[in-house]
Amino acid sequence: MPSAKPLVYIPRVEWCPYEYYMDAANERLLKSFARVRNNGDGREKLSHGEMVDHLRGAHALLVMNGAHVDEITYEAVKEAGALKVAAVAHWWGQSCVDLFARLKKAGVKTIDASDACNEAVAEWALGAIIAGLRKMDVFDRLMKNGVKWPTWRGVAGQLNGSTVGLVGVGRVGKWLVRYLKPFDVRLLVCDPFMTRKAAAEMGVEKVDLNTLLKTCDAISLHAPIIPETKGMIGRRELKLIRDGALLVNSARAWLLDNDAFRKEMQTGRFRAYLDVYEPEPPGENDVLRTLDNVVMTPHVAGTTDMMFHRCGRFAIEALREYFKKRG
């Protein structure tokens, strides 16, 4: 490390408090190797000139999430002049994609250090698959509603020995594949961006969507939010899902034809674990709230205290390694 510590600028955060990412431990870690210019708790929109002043002399950006990154313009970065590297702790879709494009154009190295959130969502999906196949919610409901000791315990499934399908193998899907590997499962994936060679190297089978839906005991959605995926699981696709199967959605309700999905779930043919909805929150009279074959959580798959801490830590560690190599 050079004798003069690099200066790290933290832009303002929204949606959740700055301290969620930067608890005392993460503050200490960052200050162990860097000087800090912190606008994480800032509330006011910055003009071009103000952003230049904030960036002037800063060697690194520590971006907690995608809130307000539109203020970090190409022109401001070039005018400030010193920026070398930027790390994102919590990836926020298109806003972060656009930020990275601007920074790369300005010659700034970019680091996606957001795996902590991807891990958390994949962990939720794994838990939903296990709980859903084992029908834990069904047994809980029975035992709390007057059934002293259910006698039909053998009808529940299990993960070992099952066929699991992933629709999309992106940022979260790759982690879920990793989490599923210790189990004795057949893994099918549908992802037009994945080659058969890449699938073989990952130890999964690439199939078309129809085959996946018809074959799998559990299906987990992880496709990206792009125009081509809008309502990709529609009435026809829902009819292909096997009776008694499990559908898990921790991505976005964007991927479903939501009217067709609600109608299909009312038949009771298969079960669903959901963390995302359209709209959010679902209405008080939404039929999904009434169905025993639907388990609902309120968009919390990636939202835990540990996730926020780890997001901050991973990004700080990425910056520390960057400057260590250049010391």
Contact by Cβ (8 Å): 87, 93: no
Fold match between domain 7-112+305-325 and domain 117-296: yes
| Dihedral sign from CA coordinates of 258, 118, 300, 139 | positive
3 state DSSP class of 166: strand
For the segment 216-226, what is each residue's pLDDT rounded down to a tens digit? 999 999 999 99
Query: Taking the model in full, what pTM does it have?
Result: 0.92
Which one, of 307, 239, 301, lies nearest residue 270 by Cα?
Answer: 239
Contact by Cβ (8 Å): 63, 87: yes
3 state DSSP class of 202: helix
Rounded CA Rg of the chain: 23
* Paired residues of 179 in beta bridges: none
Contact by Cβ (8 Å): 38, 62: no
Contact by Cβ (8 Å): 316, 23: no
For the chain, list residues with pLDDT below 50: 1-2
- Going from N- to C-terminal start, the domains of the chain cover 7-112+305-325, 117-296
Give the pLDDT score at 1: 44
Give me the architecture of the 117-296 domain, per CATH: 3-Layer(aba) Sandwich (3.40)
Homologous superfamily of domain range 7-112+305-325: NAD(P)-binding Rossmann-like Domain (3.40.50.720)
Structure tokens given for 212: 């996946």
Active site residues: 252, 280, 299
Give the pLDDT score at 92: 83
For the segment 54-88, what is each residue's pLDDT rounded down to a tens digit? 999 999 999 999 889 999 999 999 999 999 999 99
